């Protein structure tokens, strides 16, 4: 049987690409943008992405990437991302796939690759390479499950596991390995960033977070910034503001959103929001409500992958 080509993968991605990104498969987004976007701000979790058409500029933590068709990106930690689709049109829309990675699956699969033991603290947390042809087929099969919803619960975890296995046999293995090294700095900081994401409205205790990672407070601060390019408080602020932006269109008041995400001062929330998104919450809320349901990516909501 002939191996599917990149053109075959592009065809399936285009058929399932969505302006709102979301799919029925947990952790899978299929992205479409008909126009270049303004700069958007995101927080990436451990993930794998592929651009099928168009181009995008990424600043991941403090490292720039020029992300074009045929490129694949693996990120092995929670990191802030600034991104902008730079090449897209209605006739040739930007198309991409973004798939969350499960660190536990990486751990299980690496048991079968005893020879892969790179230094996790000497390996970049993200890297871009040409997409391996070995990934065309499992990606097509994963996306094709969107045509067969009853198969998703059973088949999607198996295909996602296969995709992870094949990534471990590419140049991305070095990034993936960091998810499996519990004592590596990236993995230990990942435990702290996961806690912040899950408890973003709560007050931070730096000593408690440092204890969670098994580091001293000075070491924790140093490695947290090295992995995320932010301090823990800055990271928490980014998580809060991202959540607030998701909540604004359906919220009754801006103050309710601010307090819900953990702000005690509405004026501070307004200042921080404008600093990140270049709009006040009220301005952005009005813009988001006006563009909901329209077939393009709203300002500041550039495609994930």
pLDDT band at 68 (very low <50, low <70, confident <90, very high): very high
pLDDT single digits (tens) 104-150: 898 888 876 655 555 555 678 889 999 999 999 999 999 999 999 99
pLDDT at 74 over 90: yes
Which range (59-63, 175-179, 186-190, 288-292) has the least confidence? 288-292
Structure tokens at 207: 């000593």
pLDDT band at 77 (very low <50, low <70, confident <90, very high): confident
Structure tokens at 286: 């009005």
pLDDT band at 25 (very low <50, low <70, confident <90, very high): very high
pLDDT at 299 over 80: no
Identify the structural domains of the chain with CATH numbers, from first to last. 6-178 (2.60.120.10), 185-291 (1.10.10.60)
pLDDT reported for residue 12: 97
pLDDT single digits (tens) 255-282: 999 999 999 999 999 999 999 988 999 9
pLDDT at 186 over 80: no
Give the list of residues 6+ apart from residue 173 with CB closer than 8 angstroms, or none: 113, 116, 118, 167
pLDDT at 296 over 70: no
CA distance 75 to 47: 5
The predicted model gives 167-175 an average pLDDT of: 91
pLDDT at 7 over 50: yes
pLDDT at 64 over 80: yes
Give the list of residues 6+ apart from residue 191 with CB closer than 8 angstroms, or none: 212, 213
pLDDT at 283 over 80: yes
Strands ordered across the beta sheet of 79-87: 40-44, 79-87, 55-60, 63-68
Q: Which residue has the higher pLDDT, 292 or 18?
A: 18
CA distance 103 to 298: 31
Q: 55 pairs with which residues across the strands? A: 68, 87
Does residue 100 contact residue 164 with C-beta atoms inside 8 Å?
Answer: no
Cβ burial, residue 247 (10 Å; 0-12/13-18/19+)? middle
Give the list of residues 6+ apart from residue 41 with CB closer than 8 angstroms, or none: 80, 81, 82, 238, 242, 276, 277, 300
**Quick check: pTM over 0.85?**
no
pLDDT reported for residue 301: 39
Query: φ and ψ at 65, to 5 degrees?
Result: -135, 140
pLDDT at 302 over 50: no
Q: Tokens 């499950």 correspond to what residue? A: 145
> 65-74, 111-120, 184-193, 246-255 — which one is most confidently predicted on average?
65-74
Q: How many CB atoms lie within 10 A of CB 117?
A: 11
Q: How many CB atoms lie within 10 A of CB 63?
A: 14
CA distance 89 to 109: 40
Cβ burial, residue 179 (10 Å; 0-12/13-18/19+)? buried
Which letter does DSSP use for residue 152 in this model?
H
**How much of the chain exceeds pLDDT 90, in percent?**
62
The predicted model gives 293-301 an average pLDDT of: 41
pLDDT reported for residue 1: 65
The predicted model gives 224-248 an average pLDDT of: 90
CA distance 287 to 305: 23
CA distance 164 to 72: 13
**Four-point Cα dihedral 103, 106, 108, 110, nearest 10:** -140
CA distance 239 to 220: 19
């Amino acid at each position: 049987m002939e191996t599917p080509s990149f053109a075959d993968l592009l065809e399936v991605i285009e058929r399932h690409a969505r302006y709102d990104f979301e799919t029925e498969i947990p952790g899978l987004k299929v992205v479409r943008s008909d126009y270049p976007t303004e700069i958007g701000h995101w927080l990436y979790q451990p993930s794998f992405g592929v651009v099928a058409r168009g181009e995008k500029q990424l600043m991941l933590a403090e490292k720039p990437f020029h992300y074009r068709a045929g490129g694949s990106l693996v990120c092995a930690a929670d990191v802030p991302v600034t991104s902008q689709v730079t090449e897209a049109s209605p006739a040739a829309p930007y198309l991409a796939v973004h798939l969350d990675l499960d660190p536990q699956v990486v751990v299980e699969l690496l048991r079968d690759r005893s020879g892969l033991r790179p230094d996790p603290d000497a390996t970049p947390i993200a890297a871009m390479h040409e997409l391996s042809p070995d990934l065309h087929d499992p990606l097509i099969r994963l996306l094709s499950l969107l045509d067969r919803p009853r198969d998703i619960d059973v088949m999607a975890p198996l295909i996602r596991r296969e995709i992870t296995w094949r990534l471990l046999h590419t140049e991305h293995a070095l990034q993936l390995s960091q998810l499996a090294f519990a004592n590596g700095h990236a993995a230990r900081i990942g435990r702290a960033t996961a806690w912040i994401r899950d408890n973003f409205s709560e007050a931070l205790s730096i000593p408690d977070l440092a204890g969670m990672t098994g580091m001293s407070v000075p070491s924790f601060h140093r490695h947290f910034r090295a992995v995320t390019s932010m301090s823990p408080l800055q990271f928490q602020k980014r998580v809060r503001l991202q959540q607030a932006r998701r909540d604004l269109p359906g919220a009754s008041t801006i103050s309710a959103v601010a307090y819900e995400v953990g702000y005690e001062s509405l004026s501070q929330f307004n200042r921080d929001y404008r600093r990140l998104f270049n709009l006040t919450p009220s301005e952005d809320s009005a813009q988001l409500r006006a563009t909901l349901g329209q077939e393009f990516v709203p300002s500041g909501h550039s495609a994930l992958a």
